[in-house]
C-alpha cells in the first residue's frame, strides 16, 4: 500500500501550467498532505511561507507541466504473434495490465482511459494504491457487430480471444442486442462504452473503410450510456461513413478518424466532438522490427500502408478547420505514450496545443477538469518535470530520458534526477 503523502515544496521550476504558452521561471509548487496543490508562485515568496518541516525538492532547470492524460490505451494488450496470442490466459492479461500501468505512470502518464479489454478491477487496484498505475477509466469489452473490428474470428475458424470472467461478451447485432450488450458492460463497471463503428487494421475480416453498426444501433448504445450516467461513449471510427454514423448517433469522441471528410468535420464542429487521433499505434504497426517478428500480421501491414499518409493529411485539415483534438495513443504494453505529443505537434497541432490536448483538453473529455489537467491550487498534484523546452523542442517527447520526475497526487513515482 502507498505511504502517506508528505507536504513538499518543488523549487525553481520553469512552469507551463497547461493554460498559457507563456512559461513562468523560478516558480515553487507546494503540495499538501492530501496530494493537492496548495500554492504556487515565485520561489522566494512561496517557499518562504511554506511550513518549515516540509520536504524540499529542487527542480531548477527543468520544465514542469501537468501530468499526461492518455484517452486511448489498451493496458492488457500488446502487439504479439498469433502463436503468442493463442497462449495468453486471463491471468496473463491482468499481469500485463498491471505492468503497463506502472510503465505508463513512470513515463509521465498519470491518467488514462482504457479503450477495451481491461476489466474494472484494474482501475480499482490502481485507485486503492495496491499497485502503481495511472488514474484509470475503463470501457470493458468493445461492442462489435458479427464480423466487425471487435470480432476475433479468423478465416481458419479460430477465434483469437481470451475469455475473462469479468469482461462480458461484446458482439451483438440489432438494436435490442446492442442495448443488452451495453448494459452488460455497464454492469461490469465500465465508465465508457466503446463502439466499433468501422473496420480496422488488426482485425482479419474487415476493411477500415467498412461501416459497422447502423446509426440506430449506435444510438441505442449512446442512449444506454446516458441513461446509466456513465462518462460517455467512444467510437473506433476509421472509415468515412463509420465516422459520420457515430457522430449522427451522438457519440462522445471519435477515435482515429483516419478517413474523415469535410462533412464529418462539419458534424464534429456542430456537436463539439473531439478527435482522438492515435498516431503512436500507426508508427508501431509500420515498425520493421515488429513486422519481421510477426507481431503485425500481413493484412494489418497492407491496411496500415493504405491509411498512413491519408490520416496525417486528414488530421491537418481537421485541425485547420478547428476540430478539437484530445490525446490518445492506442498504446499497448511495451509502447511509449508521450511520443504522441511529438506526432500531434508535427502533423499540424503545434507544440502548445499538443500539450493542451494531452492535459487540460483530455481532462475535460474524461470529466476530470476540476481535478487534473492544469496546475492550480486545489487540484491534484499530478505533474511531470522534463529537461528542455517542449515548446521549442517538441521532439523531446520521443526520448524517455527527458522525463526526469513524475509526481502523482503529491507522490514522486519516478525520479531520474540523479541520472
Q: Catalytic positions, please? A: 194, 330
Report how far residue 107's alpha carbon sits from residue 144's, in angstroms, rounded to the nearest whole number: 32
Which DSSP helix (H) or strand (E) runs through 275?
Answer: strand 275-276
Residue 230: Cβ within 10 Å count? 20
Please provide the DSSP assignment of 39-78 as one string. EEEEHHHHHHHS-TTSEEEE-TTEEEEEPEEEEEE-TT--
Q: Which three cell numbers stand for residue 273?
A: 466532438
User: Tell me, what DSSP letter sits at residue 377?
Assistant: T
| Contact between residue 101 and residue 129 where contact means Cβ atoms under 8 Å apart | no
**CB atoms closer than 10 angstroms to residue 330:** 26
Q: Which alpha helices (H) appear in 22-164, and where do they start and end? A: 43-49, 82-87, 90-106, 120-128
- Please identify which residue in the block is written with the cell numbers 463509420: 242
**Cα–Cα distance list, 165 to 94, 113, 142, 231, 369 (Å):** 12, 21, 15, 23, 33
CB 120 within 8 A of CB 140: yes
Q: Closest by alpha carbon to 331, among 150, 91, 97?
A: 97
CB 282, CB 339: distance < 8 Å: no
- With beta carbons less than 8 A apart as the criterion, state whether 284 and 290 touch: yes
Q: Which long-range contacts (CB under 8 A, 24 or more apart) does 262-268 make?
A: 262/317, 262/321, 264/240, 265/317, 265/318, 265/321, 265/323, 268/318, 268/323, 268/324
Helix (H, G, I), strand (E, B) or coil at 322: coil
Amino acid at each position: 500500500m502507498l505511504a502517506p503523502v508528505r507536504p513538499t515544496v518543488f523549487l525553481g521550476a520553469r512552469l507551463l501550467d497547461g493554460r498559457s504558452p507563456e512559461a513562468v521561471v523560478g516558480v515553487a509548487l507546494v503540495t499538501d498532505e492530501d496530494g493537492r496543490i496548495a500554492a504556487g508562485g515565485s520561489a522566494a515568496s512561496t517557499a518562504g511561507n511554506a511550513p518549515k518541516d516540509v520536504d524540499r525538492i529542487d527542480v531548477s532547470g527543468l520544465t514542469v507541466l501537468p501530468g499526461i492524460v492518455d484517452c486511448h490505451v489498451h493496458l492488457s494488450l500488446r502487439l504479439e504473434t498469433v502463436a503468442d496470442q493463442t497462449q495468453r490466459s486471463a491471468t496473463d492479461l491482468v499481469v500485463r495490465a498491471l505492468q503497463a500501468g506502472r510503465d505508463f505512470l513512470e513515463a509521465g502518464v498519470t491518467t488514462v482511459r482504457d479503450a477495451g479489454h481491461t476489466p474494472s478491477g484494474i482501475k480499482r487496484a490502481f485507485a486503492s494504491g495496491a499497485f502503481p498505475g495511472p488514474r484509470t477509466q475503463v470501457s470493458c469489452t468493445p461492442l462489435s457487430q458479427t464480423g466487425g473490428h471487435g470480432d476475433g474470428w479468423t478465416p481458419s475458424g479460430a477465434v483469437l480471444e481470451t475469455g475473462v470472467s469479468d469482461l462480458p461478451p461484446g458482439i451483438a447485432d440489432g438494436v435490442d442486442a446492442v442495448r443488452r450488450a451495453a448494459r452488460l458492460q455497464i454492469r461490469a463497471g465500465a465508465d465508457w462504452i466503446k463502439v466499433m463503428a468501422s473496420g480496422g487494421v488488426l482485425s482479419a475480416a474487415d476493411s477500415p473503410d467498412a461501416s459497422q453498426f447502423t446509426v440506430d444501433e449506435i444510438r441505442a448504445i449512446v442512449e444506454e450510456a446516458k441513461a446509466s450516467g456513465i462518462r460517455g461513449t467512444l467510437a473506433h471510427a476509421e472509415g468515412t461513413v463509420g465516422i459520420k454514423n457515430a457522430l449522427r448517433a451522438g457519440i462522445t469522441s471519435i477515435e482515429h478518424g483516419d478517413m474523415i471528410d469535410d462533412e464529418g468535420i462539419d458534424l464534429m464542429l456542430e456537436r463539439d466532438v473531439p478527435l482522438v487521433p492515435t498516431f503512436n499505434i500507426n508508427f508501431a504497426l509500420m515498425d520493421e522490427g515488429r513486422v519481421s517478428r510477426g507481431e503485425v500480421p500481413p493484412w494489418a501491414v497492407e491496411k496500415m500502408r493504405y491509411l498512413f499518409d491519408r490520416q496525417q493529411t486528414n488530421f491537418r485539415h481537421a485541425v485547420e478547420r478547428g476540430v478539437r483534438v484530445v490525446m490518445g495513443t492506442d498504446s499497448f504494453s511495451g509502447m511509449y505514450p508521450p511520443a504522441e505529443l511529438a506526432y500531434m505537434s508535427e502533423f499540424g497541432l503545434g507544440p502548445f496545443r499538443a500539450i493542451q490536448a494531452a492535459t487540460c483538453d483530455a481532462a475535460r473529455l474524461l470529466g476530470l477538469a476540476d481535478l487534473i489537467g492544469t496546475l492550480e491550487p486545489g487540484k491534484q498534484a499530478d505533474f511531470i518535470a522534463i529537461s528542455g523546452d517542449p515548446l521549442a523542442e517538441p521532439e523531446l517527447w520521443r526520448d524517455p530520458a527527458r522525463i526526469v520526475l513524475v509526481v502523482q497526487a503529491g507522490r514522486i513515482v519516478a525520479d531520474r534526477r540523479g541520472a
